Amino acid sequence: MMGWGLMSESCKRPLPWNKQHCREVEQAILDATVRIVLHGWVEVEMGYDVERINGSISHATVIDGRYLITHNHFGIPLSQAILYNQHANGEFSGVSVYHLDGTVILDHATLDSFVVTAEIGETIVLDFGTVDNEGFFTQAGVSSAQSISTRTAQLALGTEVAQVDWDSQGHTQVVWTRVKRVYRENGIPLIQVDHAIRPGASGGGVFLDGRHIGNNWGNYVETNRYTGIVRQELGLVALNL
């Protein structure tokens, strides 16, 4: 499990004596990160043809060796969708989980492989249980991160955080970014950061001093109302309650 003291120096532009520490923090975050696919299908009318499309990739953070925290980007509560095996755009059929190098942890496992333990705002927690008295992911060789409530975190404008992102071609990385805005929307605590994520990084963790504080929701795009030109694009993060 991760565990570091507070970082008093920047990792966004680290000084020579801080580079190794920053790389260690990044590696520990990646060691506790997996890719997850909830498989399903939708029907897309294309003339007389029907195309079946499988589920999309997300990222998730392992907690306590058995739990995944990720983004709750499903049209209805996932527990309800699984219960009725239906979704606004199709049906769920199984779950796959991968190490970041693409090796398989679970391959099209049945939906009873996990239990939804929390669906709070834009965050969802999945429990994959234990194997031989150890967490499922511990058994699979995946490290765990420490997760904290943002009620106890000191988040202010300019605070530096670590954010999981990827290049959409299979390479997951940690980027260092700064908080641009702290606010609440419909009761959900959110921050905007100055790094916009790529598709597929949704659900990836955001960390303060090495501890998980939230997950990637998507991007906030601000455009000129008259020209439509993008003025700025920021990452949108759903914080832990």
Whether residue 234 contacts residue 217, with contact meaning beta carbons closer than 8 Å, is answered with no
What is the reported pLDDT for 84?
A: 53
Assigned CATH topology for domain 31-139: Thrombin, subunit H (2.40.10)
Phi-psi region for residue 65, left (φ > 0), alpha (ψ -120 to 50) or beta? left
DSSP 147: B
Take residue 25 and report the two structure tokens written for it.
């923090």
Residues 6+ apart with CB under 8 A from 47: none
What is the reported pLDDT for 33?
A: 98
What is the reported pLDDT for 2?
A: 47
Take residue 158 and report the two structure tokens written for it.
């300019």
Domain layout of the chain by residue ranges: 31-139, 146-239
Q: What is the pLDDT of residues 16-31, one digit of tens each?
A: 999 999 999 999 999 9
**Stated pTM of the model:** 0.86
The CATH code belonging to domain 146-239 is 2.40.10.10
Q: What is the pLDDT of residues 110-167, one digit of tens each?
A: 888 998 898 888 899 999 999 999 999 999 999 999 999 877 677 899 999 999 999 8
Q: What is the pLDDT of residues 188-241, one digit of tens each?
A: 899 999 999 998 999 999 999 999 999 999 998 888 788 888 778 999 999 998
Identify the band that residue 49 occupies on the pLDDT scale cut at 50, 70 and 90: very low
